[in-house]
Structure 1
């Protein structure tokens, strides 16, 4: 098993990409801390991982709060014995035109989608250096980390920051045996897209296969990035977008 006995934290583990990634990591042998503000959802994911046969715990966290992220990292080591990586995946969106993007709306997304990635990497890196462990950080960016879109100034800014933070952290942490990689999903088929069929059909057509991407497709890429087979991938952000960024219909 490629990740046997590796301890990895997954934020946003209650559903979507986070949940699916936690499952794939467990199947590769990893011990997983399932973290989410939705503590019931996180525990449900953790129960599923234990049924697979790996150690897993859940943790309720507001990733926009530095002290809670530190507690999460400490909890992972206390319960699972070590730390080898973190998937900084939790995020939110809030669509508003720029002239309605008041400071509260702007900061709400920046704090969750950008600051939380810094907190996760910072406290995980400090702990791993202390423990003398090596491993990988994977950060969820977005196709909108490299392209503009109306109505999501805050989200675009946060995800662009994740792309650059992943590059810079990779540079600074390489000497400690820590790789840092981003992933940039396209539009993923999760409840966050809502129930507007016309909109979902329009978004689907922006991908080469004319369909939304299933969360397990992203999860398989993320899990691969944690393995030794991906050691040559460092400091970059990998699109998982079915061609969204390379063509326009």
Structure 2
């Protein structure tokens, strides 16, 4: 590991870590040397991940977390601090998508997406920032947005709206938190193949989507590692309020 991206001595909290990108982010940070609090609603998968990281000489603890519940967030942060030490990195990854025509979307479905993808990101960022300010050590907050926060698509109105909001929330927080040595940046992936979406992306709809991507293919989880480690480490110490888009050129295409 290049010393510039070394995370030895750092403590990271990753939300939505039970599957998909969150699971991969946790492993990537652990490999770089960070102790990792892996948090999600489904603790069974988290325990498996903690064992896997431990088997590779890393340190991870599973914590049950509901990002829509501020009390759950407080308890998660307290547990992470008690077990691992002061949190210096937050990966705000938890999110959901409901694919449905806008005219058919129920109020409850809209609210659920907003509550998870936007309110959850806000409450996590606020409480972890308060933790960092209280302990006086600064740190890095990485909000996981999406290419769909900049370029919309049909049948995902709530998802597109929340990811666009996360992008500007990132910028707003970066202005206020810079004085506390807290950097706030966003990662905006395009279509990245994971266990969750692999069947869809390898099917007929996936073939159509590929034609809209200049690189004519979907990203792999490892394609996000460089940007993640950049934002998590001191390599980005003079970088805040930035959004890194990794989408094979999708957002650049008309």
TM range (shorter): over 0.9
Q: Deviations over 1:132-155 (max 9, x none)?
A: 111100001011111221111111
Compute the displacement of 1:193 (Å).
2.6
Compute the displacement of 1:224 (Å).
2.1
Compute the displacement of 1:31 (Å).
0.5
Range that drifts further, 116-125 or 207-216: 207-216
Aligned to 1:68: 72
Total equivalences in the alignment = 248
Q: How does 1:95-134 map to 2 (within 5 A)?
A: 95-134=99-138
TM-score (norm: length of structure 1) = 0.95
- Find the partner of 1:25 among 10, 29, 32: 29
What secondary structure is seen at the aligned counterpart in 2 of 1:192? coil
Aligned to 2:252: 246
Matched, 1:93 2:97: yes
Compute the displacement of 1:223 (Å).
2.2
Matched, 1:195 2:192: no
Aligned to 2:210: 204
Task: Give the Cα–Cα distance (whole angstroms) in 2 for the partners of residues 116 and 22 of structure 1.
Answer: 19
Structure 2 residue runs without a partner (length 5+): none
Aligned to 1:174: 178
Range that drifts further, 15-24 or 103-112: 15-24
What is the Cα-based RMSD across aligned positions, in Å? Answer: 1.4
Task: Give the Cα–Cα distance (whole angstroms) in 1 for the partners of residues 26 and 229 of structure 2.
Answer: 8
Q: 4+ runs of 1 displaced by more than 6 Å?
A: none
Matched, 1:216 2:222: yes
Compute the displacement of 1:232 (Å).
2.7
Q: How does 1:45-60 map to 2 (within 5 A)?
A: 45-60=49-64
Aligned to 1:225: 231
Task: Give the Cα–Cα distance (whole angstroms) in 2 for the partners of residues 30 and 193 of structure 1.
Answer: 28
Range that drifts further, 134-143 or 214-223: 214-223
Compute the displacement of 1:209 (Å).
2.3
Task: Give the Cα–Cα distance (whole angstroms) in 1 for the partners of residues 115 and 8 of structure 2.
Answer: 33
Structure 1 residue runs without a partner (length 5+): none
Compute the displacement of 1:204 (Å).
2.6
